[in-house]
Structures are given as structure tokens and as C-alpha cells.
Amino acid sequence: MSSTTPRPSLGSAEFGVGARITLSVMRDDHVDVITSALAAPDADDVVVETGDVSTFVSGDEQALVRWSSELVAAAGRSGAHVAAVLHFSRGCPGEVVCELPGGAGPRRAELPTADPTGVHATAEWALYPLVDSVRDGVEPDHMRDIEAAVDLARRNGTFRGSQHFVTRLEGDVADVIATAAAGWVLVGRTVQHVTSHVTLSISSPSAAAR
Amino acid sequence: MSSTTPRPSLGSAEFGVGARITLSVMRDDHVDVITSALAAPDADDVVVETGDVSTFVSGDEQALVRWSSELVAAAGRSGAHVAAVLHFSRGCPGEVVCELPGGAGPRRAELPTADPTGVHATAEWALYPLVDSVRDGVEPDHMRDIEAAVDLARRNGTFRGSQHFVTRLEGDVADVIATAAAGWVLVGRTVQHVTSHVTLSISSPSAAAR
């Protein structure tokens, strides 16, 4: 076997594929709205652990996008002003030091999609390829992939512009989340450890005032 | 002049030092609480631009920490359940492509501090050194600096443990924010483009239930 033989992809759990989600509902009945929203999506293909700062969810890329899109849309349907922060990560099961050795990745996955929810959001998105240069044994080309991710946002109609530190997205909750996740998966084709942070705002009084 | 002569540090604006903050107040009167909180800190040394997804603030590292600590604490003093997401960035004024050429950094800054606020928070923190390997002309050692950042959290008493993708912090809002910013500045001593994301939770009903 030559050293260039591709190894089989690791499973999503083994590769540390997951998300942390902070869902904020700006109304007195926020506990009821959040509890109902957490119960709304089918959870057969994900593992969900709620905490006081965020909810951790693991599963494959497609399952994470479906589950989080349904969660955020369910909260949005309450009519309350909702802010949702999604932090996707893959390729680094661990904290400061990844438990995976450099060279375990990248892991190839199809671009995730989600069914339209009918709930509209504005959003800000940041994508982070955490290249460990030579150690990964893979020649990274993350600028090419980030540009491909932003092109994808232009094509699917969610791209609204560039701001300090973030890309502004707007559209159906499903399209916004799928865009942030697609960029993460695209960059993950050449980089092992990639994170993607997207903040969605639904029914914002300041957006309505414009 | 040899090529190893350090160049003078760029100013904070030129170097793209800033933060985006999403402040969520989970009560019917959230607009009043957020508006009052935004008016609370002295804003002489920062530039603030509010948006529907986040508030952008620029200034030097110390000013950002003081301003954001006072902002988040002011919202917390309402007694409402508050979630605050801070996204610090330095070294990349731009979006997909940094306007600064590789080699402009790193920029040295003192570790920022903030006066205690008396408001307690639990938090989750992620620190991202965005190494452009050879292009920066600087030998990065971001693992050493991230470990130094986590050591700092252990010494100042905010460290609570490691979770999937994040470090858990707890303490006075000022100490939590100063810790996330200190790690960002420490890593910034060897890496040009560094971001730090911290989510704070104040008066969470799920924390109170434990």
C-alpha cells in the first residue's frame, strides 16, 4: 500500500462531527418556547445534550443540519424575537489538543441540505479552517474552498455582503444553516479541523424598523 | 535594515482589532434592557455600530474588554436571563481575504483587564489561531500560546473544564471576558489573524435548577 492510498473515512462521531447551539428567545415565556423547540425535531439520528450555555448535538453533517434547522424554525414560529448561535465543528474531538492525530483527515461528506421552513432569518457567518500546516500530511487550499463556499452562498441566494469579520446571509432558516454547513463541509475536503459559526436573528425589532 | 528587524506595531484600527457582540435578553422588555445596556458604558475610546444580528465595536484590546464587560454586566443587572456572544477578531480587516498582507503581524498588546462587575456568568470559549503557515513570515507556535491561555484561565480561577469544542469558564463577567480576550492577545503574539468566541450565560433557569 503506497502512502498516498486514501484511507477510509472515519465515522462522524469518531471524527468529532457536531455542533453547539445557543438558542435565545426574547420573551417572558422563553423556557416554554425553548423546551417545545427542543422537542420538535425527530432526534433518531442525533445525540442531544442540553446545558446551561449551549446544547451539544452530534451526528453526521446532514443530520445536524436537518435537526438544527427544525429546532431554530420551531422557536421562530413562536413569533418571538429569536437569536440562534450555531457552532459547527469537525476534525477535532477534544479541546485544546485534538484527540485525533494530524493526518486523520480530511473526511469527505456530501453537502448537507434542509427542507424549507417558511421562517426567515438574517445572519452573520464566520468559517475557520484550522490548518496544522505540514503536520496534517495534506496540502491545504482553504482559500480556494472558502471562496467556493461564498460562491455557493451567492448561487443559492443567501449571500448579502461582506462585513467586518463575517459574511452576511439572509433567507429561509434552512437555507442559511445549510449554507454555513456547506462551507464547513467544502473546506473540510482539504482541511481536517474546520469550524463554522453562524448567528441567526429572527423577528428582530431593529430589522422590522428599517 | 535586516529582514528580521521588527516593524512598528500597526494601530488597532489598521490591524482590524474589534468585536461583534450579540446580546440576548429573554424577557418581554428586551428592547428597553438592551438599549439601556448599550448606553451604559463610556464609549470615548471605542466606535460602536449596532445591527440587527450583532453590534460591531472597534478600539484597542483593553478598550474592547472594558466596554463589552460593562455592556454585558449592565444587561445582567436587569435580572433577566441573558445570553451574550462575543466574537473578537484581530489581524484580518476584511472578510474572506484579509486586506492586510501576510507578514503584517503579529501585533503585540498587553493582556487586557476589566474591573469586577459583581455579575456572575457561566461561559463556553473557543480560540482560533488562523495560521497562514509560511506566508506570514513568522514561525507560529499557537499550541504553546493556547496552552498558556488555558493556564491563565486556571490561575485566575475562571477555568471549569474541557467540553466538546470549547473550554468552560465561570466567574465574574469581567474575569470571563478578560480571560477570553487574554488568550486572544497571547496567541496574537505569534499569529497575525486570531479570533476568540465566548458565549456567556447569566441567570439561566437551567443553571439555577441544578
B165·A89 Cβ contact <8 A: yes
- B82, B29 in Cβ contact below 8 A? no
State yes or no: pLDDT of B129 exceeds 60. yes
User: pLDDT tens across A74-117, in order?
Assistant: 999 999 999 999 999 998 887 666 777 666 777 889 999 999 99
Residues in A touching B129 (Cβ below 8 Å): 130
DSSP state of B94: B
Which residues have C-beta within 8 Å of that of residue A81, sequence separation ≥ 6?
A25, A26, A27, A201, A202, A203, A204, A205, B30
Residue B156 has pLDDT above 70, yes or no: yes
CA-CA-CA-CA torsion for B93, B98, B100, B103, nearest 10 degrees? 130
Mutate to test the interface with B, among A15, A24, A120 (most CBs of B within 10 A): A24
In this predicted model, what pLDDT tens digit does every residue of B20-49 receive, in sequence order?
999 999 999 999 999 999 999 999 999 999
Q: Give per-residue pLDDT as tens, A110-137.
A: 999 999 999 999 999 999 888 655 444 5
**Which fold is adopted by the domain B18-94+103-208?**
Alpha-Beta Plaits (3.30.70)
B60-81 pLDDT, tens per residue?
Answer: 999 999 999 999 999 999 999 9
CA dihedral A38, A116, A195, B194 (to 10 degrees): -100
CB A200 within 8 A of CB A72: yes
Q: Which helix (H) or strand (E) holds A88?
A: strand A82-90
Give me the residue spans of the domains in chain B: 18-94+103-208
CA distance B7 to chain A (A): 25
In the sheet that holds A120-129, the strands lie side by side as: A47-50, A55-58, A18-25, A82-90, A194-202, A120-129, A166-172, A159-163
Q: How far apart are CA B61 and CA A37, in angstroms?
A: 38
Any idea which fold A19-94+104-208 has?
A: Alpha-Beta Plaits (3.30.70)
